[in-house]
Amino acid sequence: MVQIHATWRDWAALEQDLNPFAVVVMAHLKAREVRDGAERKQWKLRLLRGLYERGYNREEILTLFRFIDWLLVLPVVLEQEFWHEFRQLEEEKHMPYVTSVERMGFERGQLQATREMLLEAVATRFGEVPEDVTAAVQRLETVEPLRGLLRQALTCTSLAAFRDALHGVQG
């Protein structure tokens, strides 16, 4: 037990450890430590590259990557850059572990989570989420306008003002 506790602070030991929990600890540490988006993207790629280098099988890589992806959230533009660089890594390693369908699933999950946060903010701020607002939010297909609307939900003085902002958004 003492050895595990001491090891979690030793980055070099974590990188050498084949136990998947070492990756979990590294992802957690970087999520807490790094706030800059560009640096987070680099760490996300580094951790992902480490999964390949450790020799994990496809299922292990996907499971651990889902956790890393959940912890190291990136702004939309950097997320797109990440996926581009990730595809290059897959080509370099000749190991396409994350299919385009799985990649779309990750993106859809982020989209749905952002929709849910927006609707929760509207409900908290204005006490209700009218059906027309819910329907309009569900029609939006990209994360960036939803994030802008989340800021609006937090700053608008009324539900009517939020509706105006919502109807002015395309995406």
Rounded Cα distance, 108 and 123, in Å: 23
CA distance linking residue 140 with residue 126, whole number of Å: 21
Of 116, 124, 125, 121, nearest to 158 (Cα)?
Answer: 125
Cβ count near 8 (within 10 Å): 16
Helix (H/G/I), strand (E/B), else coil: 125? helix
Q: Which residues contact 95 (CB under 8 A, 6 or more apart)?
A: 52
Q: What is the pLDDT along the chain (171 residues), one digit of tens a residue?
A: 334 444 567 888 888 888 899 999 999 999 999 999 899 999 999 998 898 888 888 788 888 988 898 888 888 788 888 888 887 877 776 665 565 546 666 667 777 888 888 999 999 999 989 999 999 999 998 877 888 898 899 899 999 999 999 988 865
Distance CA 133, CA 69 (A): 29
Nearest 10 degrees: Cα torsion 32, 36, 37, 38: -120
pLDDT at 158: 94
Rounded Cα distance between 86 and 64, Å, is: 15
Report CA dihedral (124, 126, 129, 130) to the nearest 10 degrees. 170
Q: What share of the chain is helix, strand, coil (3-state, %, to 5)?
A: 80, 0, 20
Residue 20 and residue 14 in contact, taking contact as beta carbons nearer than 8 Å:
no
Is residue 79 within a helix (H) or strand (E), and if so which, with residue range?
Answer: helix 76-93
pTM for this prediction: 0.54
Sequence spans of domains, the chain: 2-98, 108-167
Please tell me the distance from the alpha carbon of residue 132 to that of residue 59, in angstroms, as a whole number. 41
